[in-house]
């Protein structure tokens, strides 16, 4: 019998920690799995998806930047988890069809819960207005956050995202007041990848507030360093990455990974950063 295949599909994708995490879990659970990193340009993505659909060897794909919206468009069917983010980060291949799912929003909530951070009733600020910010705002709204404010470098994009969820919006330079009052600040920008923080000059976080950065490389981003210095409680993006991957594993195998196995996966990746 051939070994079932899965992949993380994106461009670039060489930096992805997913192959290491899935290989670790597959070994731990004694599941046969060949999980690879597949770099596909936006031009190559549709044809590769069509081929994978017709090839019985694939279980599924984890989908990352820049293919999340296109994956949803091209799927034959979609789970309700994709509708609010408007994007898919998982494609399951079943009986010649590709079915789209989104585990980012649930992974974000699971990460907050595992850290003991509040969502219900919280005043939340989300920095960024891309795909990941959309999943975060959807999750916070569903969880009953008292207030959600979205600030982005490009104001128009923040306004468009906030309008979908009845949230407040503005440019990053307008965020100081909301940041100082927030119980939870989520950095959903990719600024950390370039070694900068999206917080405006002189911005203050409330002592004891939770500050979560979705970017997980480097482990201590400039945003998390600033948050820590302000007395806020920092939470890195690795926890969300691992939690959304555990939900993807459940879609692949119909198996909920035990908590100790999920936590061991996170420790495995901490060693890789
Ligand atoms: P997108 O490309 O869709 O959005 C990027 C966002 O970052 C935009 O709002 C953009 O603003 C903003 N941005 C980029 N550079 C800067 C900068 N120098 N200063 C301020 N704002 C900036 O990316 P995603 O939403 O998909 O991903 C965002 C981050 O979250 C990435 O680092 C990604 O790796 C991470 N992520 C982590 C996950 C996890 O499980 N931990 C899951 C998903 C994503 P503008 O609109 O003005 O260009």
Read off the pLDDT of residues 251-262 as tens digits, 9 standing for 90 and up: 999 999 999 999
pLDDT level of residue 1 (50, 70, 90 thresholds):
low
Q: How many CA atoms lie within 13 A of 51 on its CB side?
A: 6
Ligand 1 pocket mutation pick from 106, 132, 173, 185 by most atoms within 8 angstroms of CB: 132
| C-alpha 85 to ligand 1 mean position (Å) | 14
Q: How many CA atoms lie within 13 A of 197 on its CB side?
A: 19
| C-alpha 193 to ligand 1 mean position (Å) | 9
Q: Which residues line ligand 1 (CB under 6 A)?
A: 65, 104, 107, 128-133, 152-154, 157, 188-191, 193-194, 196, 198, 214-216, 237, 240-241, 244
Which residue's alpha carbon is at the smallest distance from atom 39 of ligand 1? 241
- Torsional sign, CA 5, 11, 14, 16: negative
Average pLDDT over residues 36-62: 96
Which residue's alpha carbon is at the smallest distance from atom 34 of ligand 1? 215
pLDDT level of residue 51 (50, 70, 90 thresholds):
very high
CA-closest candidate to residue 217, choices 270, 254, 177: 270
DSSP code of residue 11:
S
| C-alpha 187 to ligand 1 mean position (Å) | 8
Ligand 1 pocket mutation pick from 189, 214, 266, 270 by most atoms within 8 angstroms of CB: 189
Active site residue 206: no
Q: Strand 90-94 relative to strand 58-63: parallel, antiparallel, unpaired?
A: antiparallel
Annotated catalytic residue within 67, 68, 141, 243: 68
Chain CA centroid to CA 107, Å: 7
| C-alpha 4 to ligand 1 mean position (Å) | 32
pLDDT level of residue 56 (50, 70, 90 thresholds):
confident
Q: What is the pLDDT of residue 92?
A: 98
| C-alpha 190 to ligand 1 mean position (Å) | 3
Of the listed ranges 1-5, 96-100, 159-163, the one predicted with least confidence:
1-5
Residue 2 scores a pLDDT above 90: no
pLDDT per position as a tens digit, 208-243: 999 999 999 999 999 999 999 999 999 999 999 999
SS3 (DSSP) at 37: strand
Buried b (16+ CB within 10 A) or exposed e, 53-63: beeeebbbbbb
Q: Strand 147-152 relative to strand 123-127: parallel, antiparallel, unpaired?
A: parallel
Q: From the alpha carbon of 194, which atom of ligand 1 is closest?
A: 18
């Amino acid at each position: 019998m051939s070994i079932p295949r899965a992949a993380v599909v994106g461009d670039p994708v060489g930096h992805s920690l997913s192959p290491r995490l899935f290989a670790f879990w597959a070994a731990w659970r004694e599941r046969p799995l060949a999980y690879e990193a597949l770099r596909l340009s936006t031009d190559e993505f549709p044809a590769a998806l069509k081929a994978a659909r017709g090839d019985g060897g694939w279980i599924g794909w984890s989908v990352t930047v820049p293919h999340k919206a296109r994956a949803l468009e091209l799927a034959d069917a979609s789970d309700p988890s994709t509708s609010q983010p408007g994007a898919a980060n998982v494609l399951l291949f079943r009986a010649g069809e590709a079915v789209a799912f989104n585990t980012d929003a649930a992974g974000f909530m699971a990460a907050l819960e595992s850290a003991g951070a509040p969502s219900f009733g919280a005043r939340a600020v989300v920095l960024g207005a891309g795909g990941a910010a959309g999943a975060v705002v959807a999750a916070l709204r569903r969880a009953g956050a008292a207030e959600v404010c979205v600030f982005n470098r490009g104001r128009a994009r923040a306004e468009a995202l906030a309008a979908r969820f009845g949230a407040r919006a503005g440019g990053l330079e307008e965020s100081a007041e909301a940041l100082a009052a927030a119980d939870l600040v989520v950095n959903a920008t990719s600024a950390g990848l370039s070694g900068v923080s999206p917080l405006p000059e002189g911005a203050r976080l409330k002592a004891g507030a939770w500050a979560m950065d979705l970017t997980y490389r480097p482990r201590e981003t400039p945003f998390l360093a600033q948050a820590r210095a302000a007395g806020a409680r920092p939470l890195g993006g690795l926890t969300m990455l691992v939690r959304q991957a555990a939900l993807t594993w459940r879609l692949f195998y119909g198996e909920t990974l035990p908590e100790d196995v999920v936590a061991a996966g996170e420790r495995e990746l901490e060693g890789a950063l």
